[in-house]
Amino acid sequence: NISKLKDQGSIMHSLHFFIFAVVFSKTCGFQPPEFEKCDVEDDKHWFCKKGLQYFDNFCDQDESKAACKQTCNLCNGPPTPPPVPKPICGVSKVSQSRVVNGEDAPEGAYPWIASLQIRVAIENVKSHFCGGTLIHPKWVLTAAHCFDFGNFSMNAIMPFIHVELGIHDQDKEESTSQLRNIKNAFESPDLGVKDGTLYGDLLLLELDVPVMLNDRVNLPCLPDKEEYPTIGQSCVVAGWGIREYPSEKTGGILQQTRLPVVGPNHIGCHSNTEVICVGHGFGTQANGKQHPNACKGDSGGPLVCQQPNGSWKFVGVASYVHTYCKYYTAYAPVGKYLPWIKEHVPL
């Protein structure tokens, strides 16, 4: 009886092995469902572990390695990694590799960028003076110094200021444009000057009506608390500021340029925790021309860095932007002020 049971067990083992080999011999690209995992060993055969008892370690047998290749081996290669989830923020039509220094940005490249404009309805005139970044359908983050109008208070000037999103060429009327008024404004409580550097240069603008999100008006990804870009990292700035000194003309087509993050102790940048420093300073390109930098009219605009999944993260707000367009630019770090932002914005 014992001998018969052994024979039956051997027959069942062979039958199970035959069925398994037939079912999976032409199957590639996924792990057989009967096994909890497949481990790879030095001889590059995949060994099924912790499976059903009659299959447990059957690939350890030399005569079974050929079948093992057709089953556990998944086509003699490592398992296909799961697809990277598509980002839900920071989605752009432009990749980092396509950003060339000082050029027209593709339409819709930075759907979170906003233009702050003084508009005189009677004369039908608009004038771009600063940039901003949409961080919520009803909230834009910009630089506080953009609203320093001398003897005019913020409340007095606010009715004449409008926020435009979805715009590319400010010299044209574009159907993608969404224009909003400002309902409220909140300055950063840390706003001030220390050692020649403007700190906490942030202003939250609450729009009167939320914008409609689409491929031309959308949100960037936000950094974590206290998250900073690394020195040497290449990030991108964009805006409608003047293109070169001494021109005073702002507006036109949105411009973009790639700039490196640099360390502290540059003109306008004296701290690597209170501000993010970017730019080329007085450096020149191989053709002898001045490196593009952020310029007058780019204040308040975003500094964005591309992530491994292709999304763009909003890490800084342009604060110190020199008129001559030759100095480094200091950006207020968004990550440092994230707790304050969340006090007002339902992120």
Helix (H, G, I), strand (E, B) or coil at 126: strand
Q: Are 239 and 245 in contact (CB under 8 A)?
A: no
Q: What is the mean pLDDT of the chain?
A: 74
Residue 50 lies in a domain: no
Helix (H, G, I), strand (E, B) or coil at 338: helix
The answer to whether 16 is a known catalytic residue is: no
Which residue in 170, 283, 292, 277 sits closest to 243, CA to CA? 292
Q: How many CB atoms lie within 10 A of CB 7?
A: 10
Residue 55 lies in a domain: no
State the pLDDT at residue 163: 97
State the pLDDT at residue 103: 80
Residue 245 lies in a domain: yes
The answer to whether 291 is a known catalytic residue is: no
Residue 284 lies in a domain: yes
Q: Are 94 and 258 in contact (CB under 8 A)?
A: no
Q: How many CB atoms lie within 10 A of CB 329?
A: 31
d(CA 220, CA 241): 21
d(CA 310, CA 94): 9
Residue 89 lies in a domain: no
Q: Are 202 and 336 in contact (CB under 8 A)?
A: no
State the pLDDT at residue 204: 98
pLDDT tens for 27-73 read 333 344 444 444 444 444 444 443 333 333 344 444 444 444 444 44
CATH number (domain holding residue 230)? 2.40.10.10
The DSSP bridge partners found for residue 180 are 163
Indicate yes or no: pTM above 0.85.
no
d(CA 216, CA 111): 5
How far is the CA of 218 from the CAs of 108, 202, 203, 254, 269, in angstroms?
A: 10, 20, 20, 16, 30
Residue 173 lies in a domain: yes
pLDDT tens for 237-277 read 999 876 554 455 556 899 898 889 988 766 556 555 688 98
Active-site residue identified among 92, 115, 188, 299: 299
In the chain, which residues have pLDDT < 70?
Answer: 1-87, 94-102, 121-124, 196, 242-251, 265-273, 281-297, 321-326
Q: Show the domain range for 153.
A: 101-344
Q: What is the dihedral of CA 311, 317, 323, 327, to 10 degrees?
A: -70
Q: Which amino acid type is present at position 206?
A: E
pLDDT tens for 121-135 read 656 678 889 999 999
Q: Are 199 and 274 in contact (CB under 8 A)?
A: yes
DSSP class of 111: T
State the pLDDT at residue 305: 96
d(CA 68, CA 74): 9
State the pLDDT at residue 264: 72
Start-to-end CA span in the chain (Å): 73
Residue 338 lies in a domain: yes
The answer to whether 299 is a known catalytic residue is: yes
Residue 267 lies in a domain: yes
Domain count, the chain: 1
Q: Give the distance from CA 103 to its chain's centroid.
A: 20
Active-site residue identified among 92, 188, 201, 270: 201
Active-site residue identified among 45, 145, 168, 291: 145
State the pLDDT at residue 316: 97
